[in-house]
């Protein structure tokens, strides 16, 4: 079963690699890209002025060495640090059409959640929507950006590196004899009905690849979990994706039914040190996966300390 699991992970990546080749192509002096909404976007030539409407997309651009082409970002774009020096076009999810047009972009990269996106498309500006559903979708997005921006080799190399790191985690967690149950909290503002992740979310996939079992079986990616469900599931581990707003001490002090949880009694409450690595679908998603794996199966990674090889 372990060998089968590792084979499946490697097979998915191999199939994904074949499909990536068709996601964008340069032909007859123009670039054609098929985005995550299955839209064919035609670009006359390699873009030189790019506006990014999502922090994750900005991270992809900088990871591919394209920081100089970025002429506009949202006020939530803070990684890498130099992204914060770029002119902003408004708040994430709520940018300004006027501010974007003022940057005279020849390409806008968006995640499709900003209401201004359809207006940009109507204005005739090339807009590529990057809205990946899982980690493999992030890899595909990196390849799309690399191809469109004439950084294909860099895109291929970056994806290969991230694939290697994902496989390193999967190969180690495949050795696990037990999959700890995990409650991952993304919002504990209301401790009586906190928010967690369900199947289909990035974090759910990360928990699985890291050798854990997500206690949430809800039909949506993000859902409020009842205390009854939490008590019935009695997770082995609690992982906080809302740190430092909520700390392990905060969870211990909630009292009530929370104090009855085995993870609280055993002080098995952990946190993701940089929650952007589990919430942003960009290159650092593998950083989040590696940290998740160290939390769920520290015994498998003790031999390499903080590094996963």
- Report helix, strand or coil for 309: coil
Closest CA to 276 of 114, 94, 91, 59: 59
> How many whole angstroms separate alpha carbon 90 and alpha carbon 200?
30
What is the domain range of residue 14? Answer: 8-165
Per the domain annotation, does 209 fall within a domain? yes
- pLDDT above 50 (res 82): yes
Place of tokens 């909290």: 185
The proportion of the chain whose per-residue pLDDT surpasses 70, expressed as a percent, equals 88
| Residue 195: count of CB within 10 angstroms of its CB | 18
- Of 165, 195, 211, the residue at which a domain comes to its end is 165
Place of tokens 């003790």: 302
Same domain, 186 and 80: no
Same domain, 19 and 89: yes
Per the domain annotation, does 271 fall within a domain? yes
Same domain, 18 and 145: yes
Same domain, 255 and 118: no
Least confident range from 19-28, 73-82, 99-108, 239-248: namely 19-28
* 241-276 confidence digits (pLDDT tens): 999 999 999 999 999 999 999 999 999 999 999 999
Same domain, 158 and 260: no
* 175-196 confidence digits (pLDDT tens): 999 999 999 999 999 999 999 9
Same domain, 216 and 84: no
Same domain, 122 and 208: no
Per the domain annotation, does 3 fall within a domain? no
Per the domain annotation, does 269 fall within a domain? yes
> How many whole angstroms separate alpha carbon 308 and alpha carbon 210?
12
Structure confidence at residue 66 (pLDDT): 98
The proportion of the chain whose per-residue pLDDT surpasses 90, expressed as a percent, equals 83
Least confident range from 110-114, 148-152, 197-201: namely 197-201
Return the DSSP state at 76. T
Question: In this structure, are residues 16 and 74 in contact, taking their beta carbons and an 8 Å threshold?
Answer: no
- pLDDT above 80 (res 308): no
Rounded to the nearest 5 percent, the helix, strand and coil shares of the chain are 45, 15, 40
* 39-77 confidence digits (pLDDT tens): 999 999 999 999 999 999 999 999 999 999 999 999 999
> How many whole angstroms separate alpha carbon 276 and alpha carbon 297?
21
Which residues have C-beta within 8 Å of that of residue 50, sequence separation ≥ 6?
61, 66, 69, 70, 71, 105, 106, 107, 108, 109, 149
> How many whole angstroms separate alpha carbon 204 and alpha carbon 184?
9
The residue ranges of DSSP E strands in 4-104, in sequence order, are 24-27, 30-34, 40-43, 50-52, 70-72, 90-91, 94-95
**What is the count of structural domains for the chain?**
2
Query: Can you say whether residue 79 is alpha, beta or left, with left for phi > 0 and alpha for psi between -120 and 50 degrees?
Result: beta
Same domain, 161 and 191: no
Q: Domain containing 52 — which CATH number?
A: 3.40.50.1980
Same domain, 144 and 183: no
- pLDDT above 60 (res 105): yes
Same domain, 14 and 133: yes
* 128-176 confidence digits (pLDDT tens): 999 999 999 999 999 999 999 999 999 999 999 999 999 999 999 999 9
- Cα(first)–Cα(last) distance of the chain, in Å? 22
- pLDDT above 50 (res 13): no
Question: In this structure, are residues 205 and 164 in contact, taking their beta carbons and an 8 Å threshold?
Answer: no
Structure confidence at residue 31 (pLDDT): 83
Same domain, 154 and 203: no
**Secondary structure of 81-148 as H, E, C letters:** HHHHHCCECEECCEECHHHHHHCCCCEEEECCCCCCHHHHHHCCCCEEECCCCCHHHHHHHHHHHHHH
pTM for this model (two decimals): 0.88
Same domain, 156 and 205: no
In Å, the largest CA–CA distance within the chain is 67
- Of 117, 134, 165, the residue at which a domain comes to its end is 165
> How many whole angstroms separate alpha carbon 76 and alpha carbon 276?
11
Per the domain annotation, does 173 fall within a domain? no
């Amino acid at each position: 079963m372990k060998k089968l699991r590792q084979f499946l992970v490697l097979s998915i990546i191999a199939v994904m690699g074949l499909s990536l080749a068709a996601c964008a192509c340069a032909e007859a002096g123009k670039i054609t890209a098929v985005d995550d909404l299955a839209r064919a976007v035609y670009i006359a030539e390699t873009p030189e002025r790019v506006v990014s409407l999502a922090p994750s997309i900005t991270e992809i651009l900088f990871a591919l060495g394209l920081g100089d082409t970025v002429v506009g970002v949202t006020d939530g774009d803070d990684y890498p640090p130099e992204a914060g020096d770029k002119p902003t076009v408004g708040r994430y999810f709520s940018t300004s059409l006027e501010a974007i047009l003022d940057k005279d972009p020849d390409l806008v990269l968006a995640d499709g959640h900003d209401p201004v996106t359809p207006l940009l498309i109507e204005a005739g500006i090339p807009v590529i929507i990057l809205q990946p559903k899982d980690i493999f979708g992030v890899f595909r997005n990196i390849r799309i950006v690399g191809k469109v921006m004439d950084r294909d080799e860099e895109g291929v190399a970056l994806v290969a590196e991230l694939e290697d790191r994902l496989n390193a985690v999967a190969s180690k967690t495949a050795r696990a004899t037990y999959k700890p149950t995990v409650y991952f909290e993304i919002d504990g503002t209301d401790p009586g009905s906190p928010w967690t992740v369900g199947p289909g979310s990035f974090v759910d996939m990360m928990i699985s690849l890291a050798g854990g079992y997500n206690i949430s079986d809800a039909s949506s990616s993000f859902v409020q979990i009842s205390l009854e469900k939490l008590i019935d599931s009695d997770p082995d581990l609690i992982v906080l994706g809302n740190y430092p707003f909520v700390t392990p001490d905060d969870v211990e002090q909630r009292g009530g039914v929370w104090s009855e949880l085995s993870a609280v009694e055993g002080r098995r409450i952990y946190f993701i040190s940089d929650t952007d690595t589990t919430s942003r679908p960009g290159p650092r998603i593998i950083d989040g996966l590696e940290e998740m794996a160290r939390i769920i199966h520290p015994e498998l990674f003790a031999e390499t300390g903080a590094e996963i090889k």
